[in-house]
Structure 1
Amino acid sequence: MLGIAAAVLFFIAFLINAAELSTNEVLSSTNLMLLGLGLLALHVAGVGSGWAVRSRRR
């Protein structure tokens, strides 16, 4: 889920950069890309993937 959110943020940042829209400092394409990278890092680290049940079978 975090990977999808990162892809959406990357796409929005690309559109802002490609259309050369003037946005405020908070919604700049660089800030959106950094948020996307943060979400992608959390996705790769396994955050938000759910709980894994470990069975103790012998």
Structure 2
Amino acid sequence: MFAIVAAVVFGLALILDLADASIGTTIDGATLLVAGLLCVALHLAGVGTSVRGRATAWRRRR
């Protein structure tokens, strides 16, 4: 889930960078880049995944 959010944020940052625009005074390309990197880091850390529950159920059946 966080990987999809990161892809959307990176896409928005790219569009803003290519158009040389910003959203408000605090949100610009660099802010969106940091937000996207945070989402990628959370995805790689395994936050928001439910694989743990599925693996436990799979182990019980065997």
**Same-fold call, TM > 0.5?**
yes
Task: Name the count of aligned residue pairs.
Answer: 57
TM-score when scaled to structure 1? 0.82
Measured after TM superposition, the shift of residue 25 of structure 1 is: 3.2
Structure 1, gaps ≥5 residues long: none
Q: Identity percentage over the alignment?
A: 36
Q: Name 1:25's counterpart in structure 2.
A: 25
> What root-mean-square deviation, in Å, do the aligned CA atoms of Structure 1 and Structure 2 show?
1.9
How big is each residue's C-alpha offset from its partner over 1:9-58, in whole Å with a ceiling of 9 and x where there is no partner? Answer: 000000000011143332201000100000000000000011514347xx
TM-score when scaled to structure 2? 0.78
Structure 1 residue runs of 4 or more that deviate by more than 3 Å after TM superposition: 53-56
Distance (Å, rounded) in 1 between the aligned partners of 2:22 and 2:3: 27
Q: Are 1:9 and 2:9 an aligned pair? A: yes
Q: Residues 29 and 41 from structure 1, CA distance in 2 versus in 1: closer, same or farther, beyond 3 angstroms?
A: same
Further displaced range: 36-45 or 22-31: 22-31
